[in-house]
Structure formats: C-alpha cells, structure tokens
Amino acid sequence: MQDEVAELARRRGFLWQAFEVYGGAAGFYDYGPLGALLKRRVEAAWREFYLREGFYEVETPTVAPRAVFEASGHLESFSDQAVVCRQCRNFFRVAEREEVGEGQRCPECGGELEDAGEFNLMFQTRIGVPRGGGGRGAGGDEKEERRKSEGYLRPETAQGIFLNFPRLLRFNRGKLPFGAFQIGKAYRNEISPRKSLIRLREFTMAEAEVFVDPAEKEKHPRFAAVKEKRLRLVPSAEGEGKGEEKGEGKREGKGGEEGEGGRGGEEKGEEKSVSVEEAVRSGVVANEFLGYHIARVEEFLVEGLGIPRERLKFRQHRGDEMAHYATDCWDAEFFSERYGWMEIVGVADRGDYDLSAHSLSGGGAGTPNVIEPSYGIDRIVYALLESSFYEEQVGKEKRKVLRFKKEVAPVRAAVLPLLKREELKKKARAVFQELRAAGMFVEYDESGSIGRRYRRQDEIGTPFCVTVDYETLEDDTVTVRERDTMKQVRVVVGEVKNVVKLFRDF
C-alpha cells in the first residue's frame, strides 16, 4: 500500500495491525470501524451479484477432519518450498527468491540462504479429546484414535460445498448446471507473510462452485451475453494456442490457490486483447463456462466495485504452478503501484477432481465438472483502497480523497450543521435521523470548521455531505455536496434521501 494510503488507513480506522499491544503477529490484521464497513459492502455486492446468477448460498464449518483433506489432496500437495537464512534464521518462500537477487541473499540481513525443505500450509488442531489419552507408549488403537481426532482449519471454503454435492443436486431437482457459493474465513500458515493484506494467515474468501456436465462445458446458456466483451489476457507460454488440448489437466502441483497466494511467473505468452468468444474459439480459454465466468469476474470488479479496468488483466497459470486440483486456471491480477501485479481472483476449471476425490458422482452417468471463481476479499479491499486514493491541490491546500464507487463507500453521507448553533444542530439532527430511518448509514459531524469537516469526509470516501444552514430554516432546503467534483446543489429536505440514495442531480 502506498505510504499515504497506509497512514490514512491506520489513522481513520480502516486497518490496524492485529495484537499490536503484544508486539503484533505477521499475517494478521484487524479491520477498524470503516474497514469493516467497506469489507461488508464488498461482500454484500458479491453476494447480490452471484444471487443474480441464480446460485444459492451455503455455510459450512471452518474446521474439518483429517480425512477430508486426505481425500482432497491438501495434506499431500498443499505446501510451499522454503529457504532459511543461515544468519538471522528467517524463513522465506522459494517463490520469493527472485526478490533476493543473484547471490540468493537474505532480504532482511543479507545472510546466505539455504534450502529448508517443504512446509504444509494448513493449521492443525484436534477435534474433541481422543479416547485412550494417546500419551507415551500409546498402543496402535490409541494412535489411530488420535489420528481420527486430527483436524485442520480449512485453507479454502470449497470443500464444504463439494461434500454437500449430493444434497445440492437433489435440492436442484437433479439438474445441471447449478451453482452454490460461500463467503467465509480460510487459514494458511504462510511461511513469510508480508505486504499488508496481500499475504495473510487468516483471510476471507468468496467462492462459487459451478457444477456442470462435462459434455456441456462448451455450451453455456448465457454465453451470448458476454461473448463480445474484450478481455486483457496473458496466456501461459505452454498454453497459448493449444485449444486441441482442452480437457486434459494436471492433478499435481504446489499449493497455489485461487483468490489468495497465487504465484507470478516469468514464462508467459504474449498479452492480448480479445473478445471472450475469440478466446474460447481459439482455445486460449478452455471452454465457454470458463470464459463466461472470467468475463463475469471482470464485470464484478470493474462495474460492481469500481476497480479501474486498465489496472486489471487475466494471467493463465503455468503447468508448474497449477494447483493440484486444477486443469486450467486464470488469475485476475490488479496492478499495485507498490507491489506490482498481484492476484485478487482466480477462475479455475477443477474438472472432476474434487467430486471424484470424495467419491461423489451424484448418481448420474458421469461425474460433473466444477468451474470455480474464487475471490480474495481482503486483497480486493486493498485494491479498492489503493486505486481509490487521490491527492490533489485545492486552493492553498492538498485534498486527500478516497473516490470509492458510491455503492461501496463505508459511509453514504454526512450531515453537517454549518455552525455549532443550537437551532442548526437541531435541524441537522432531524435530517440525520430521517436518512438513517431510510436505511442509509450516515454520519453526523459538528466539530470544527465546515471546510475541515468536508476534508474529513473526503478522506474516508463519503460520497455526499449535507449541510444545514440558516437558509434551511427559512425554506427547508439544504446544500448537498458531491465528493469527487465538489459540486453543490440546493435540495428540499424531503428529497435529500432520494438524491443520496439514487445519486440524482449530479
């Protein structure tokens, strides 16, 4: 995050270091009051977006028994290679060696790095108390009981949906395709978490699992709605133009997961701007279902949240970075001025891997395939903060403003009495209560000069400021100021909620 944005985020209550009074812990952040509001706006927009797709939401536990992750392949494959500094003993992911330099020196102290082996990234726990105690000298039965009590915090939300596939299929009257989604916490014991919200040990994922007959993957029923959309694509060097290889994929690989923790790569094809239809027909994108959901991801990020289209591209995973479950995967990457290109969403064709792994075919003629758009909500919050921050000269002072899309701004409007006079405060509080009663989250602020209060609201991205002045007492009108243009209009008090809610008159 740019230093100015990081300072603003801390000062104004968007993001705080977790456990700060005890020195903090890498990979954990607290969302302050405004950060929590912003995050909930993003989650609500995402939920509404996929409900409009006709998908249903489910909620499953964040802890699962060992058997789940044995079957899913996470115990075997969800790992990172690490190096350790011989001098300061700090650990680093092998993928970060590029940042160290030619001599493989430690980025912290300059010491020499050496191989430290492979680390599984899941948090282990116990489910209940194993029978028999399992202490020293425990027999075979007791060891088996301890093994059965072994559990893990989920590294993705998806497995809970896959385990419920037979019930979801019955709920959908046995018909494919259908989708189910989940928003919730996931956990990864990252080797070297850093970069603010980019690499966390506890984070929020929003994942949709779309179950489709493999014979119908080339026939999405709403493909016509997206086929002419142009996408900025970066195919992998090995995948570019290999349309004849559709349907064949890997089941081995490292723990790169959609929405969090994907790996960048040097080996890539030429960046191109193509329509979704052209990308699918040429084989750059494997099938219509995958192409459709890549297009929908861009639509949500750009039109739904307001992330600039020019700061987005879709990069295809190389074979050696493909997750163990994926046959193809494309990352939506956001260009950060501080961190460069970073993954914020992954769209994977998981094939039949997951349902086959859990032996859940649903009783049909074949095992359905899964297309998965997987969003890293915390990374998207970061992208919104960075891309919305502007600093501009206004008169003799610099104005800092977060130009959030109005629908996702934490605070919809602020009501401000022009002066700290009782008659103005009384009227301003009445307007404030009216807007609150209309279901909008608004602030009331009477502290400081009107200019200073405008600047405070600009800093937190409030789209509108409603000012009550002496003219209000005469004709029942107020001044409504719009954040980005600073344009002001007079509005009858009874119409303020419509202006603020519907963004009229601007």
* Claim to verify: residue 26 and residue 175 sit in the same structural domain: yes
DSSP 61-105: -SEEEHHHHHHHTHHHH-EEEEEEETTT--EEEGGGGGGT-TT-B
Cα R_g (the chain), whole angstroms? 26
* Claim to verify: residue 335 and residue 306 sit in the same structural domain: yes
* Claim to verify: residue 249 and residue 274 sit in the same structural domain: yes
Res 184 pLDDT > 60? yes
pLDDT digits over 3-37, tens only?
899 999 999 999 999 999 999 999 999 999 999 99
* Helical pair 377-388 and 3-11, crossing angle rounded to 10 deg: 110
Q: What's the pLDDT score for residue 356?
A: 93
* CATH code where residue 85 lies: 2.20.28
Domain count, the chain: 3
Report DSSP state, residue 367: P
Confidence of residue 239 (pLDDT cuts 50, 70, 90): low
Kindly state whether residue 352 falls inside one of the protein's structural domains.
Answer: yes
DSSP 386-444: HHHEEEEEETTEEEEEE---GGG-S--EEEEESSS-HHHHHHHHHHHHHHHHTT--EEE
Q: Please state, for a pLDDT cut of 70, what percent of the chain lies above it.
A: 88
Confidence of residue 240 (pLDDT cuts 50, 70, 90): low
pLDDT, average across residues 383-401: 94
Q: What tokens were used for 331?
A: 């990352």
| Higher local confidence (pLDDT), 196 or 232 | 232
Q: What's the pLDDT score for residue 255?
A: 35
Res 252 pLDDT > 90? no
Q: What's the pLDDT score for residue 269?
A: 74
The mean pLDDT of the chain is 88
* Claim to verify: residue 35 and residue 94 sit in the same structural domain: no
* Claim to verify: residue 72 and residue 108 sit in the same structural domain: no
* Claim to verify: residue 285 and residue 359 sit in the same structural domain: yes
In whole angstroms, give the CA distance from residue 127 to residue 250. Answer: 32
| Higher local confidence (pLDDT), 116 or 410 | 410
Q: What's the pLDDT score for residue 152?
A: 95
Q: What's the pLDDT score for residue 284?
A: 95
* Claim to verify: residue 380 and residue 415 sit in the same structural domain: no
Kindly state whether residue 127 falls inside one of the protein's structural domains.
Answer: no
Q: What's the pLDDT score for residue 504?
A: 59
pLDDT, average across residues 220-247: 79
pLDDT, average across residues 445-453: 96
* Claim to verify: residue 485 and residue 497 sit in the same structural domain: yes
CA nearest neighbour of 299 among 236, 345, 354: 345
* CATH code where residue 479 lies: 3.40.50.800
Look at residues 326, 352, 386 and tell me which one is the last residue of a structural domain.
386
Kindly state whether residue 149 falls inside one of the protein's structural domains.
Answer: no
Q: What's the pLDDT score for residue 320?
A: 80
Kindly state whether residue 150 falls inside one of the protein's structural domains.
Answer: no
Confidence of residue 363 (pLDDT cuts 50, 70, 90): low
pLDDT, average across residues 202-219: 97
Look at residues 332, 352, 386 and tell me which one is the last residue of a structural domain.
386
* Claim to verify: residue 176 and residue 245 sit in the same structural domain: yes
Confidence of residue 135 (pLDDT cuts 50, 70, 90): low
Kindly state whether residue 22 falls inside one of the protein's structural domains.
Answer: yes
In whole angstroms, give the CA distance from residue 298 to residue 315. Answer: 13
Kindly state whether residue 317 falls inside one of the protein's structural domains.
Answer: yes
Range with lowest mean pLDDT among 1-5, 327-331, 378-382? 1-5
Kindly state whether residue 394 falls inside one of the protein's structural domains.
Answer: no
Res 493 pLDDT > 90? yes
| Higher local confidence (pLDDT), 327 or 100 | 327
Specify the pTM: 0.89
Residue 104 structural domain: 79-120
Range with lowest mean pLDDT among 131-140, 388-397, 473-482? 131-140
* Claim to verify: residue 91 and residue 190 sit in the same structural domain: no
Confidence of residue 169 (pLDDT cuts 50, 70, 90): very high
Confidence of residue 259 (pLDDT cuts 50, 70, 90): very low
Res 260 pLDDT > 50? no
Kindly state whether residue 404 falls inside one of the protein's structural domains.
Answer: no
Q: What's the pLDDT score for residue 172?
A: 96
In whole angstroms, give the CA distance from residue 298 to residue 304. Answer: 9
* CATH code where residue 349 lies: 3.30.930.10
Overall size of the chain counted in residues: 506
pLDDT, average across residues 225-242: 85
In whole angstroms, give the CA distance from residue 112 to residue 71. Answer: 38
Look at residues 344, 369, 386 and tell me which one is the last residue of a structural domain.
386
* Claim to verify: residue 251 and residue 235 sit in the same structural domain: yes
| Higher local confidence (pLDDT), 109 or 332 | 332
Q: What's the pLDDT score for residue 138?
A: 58
* Claim to verify: residue 101 and residue 73 sit in the same structural domain: no
pLDDT digits over 261-320, tens only?
444 444 567 899 999 999 999 999 999 999 999 999 999 999 999 999 999 999 999 888
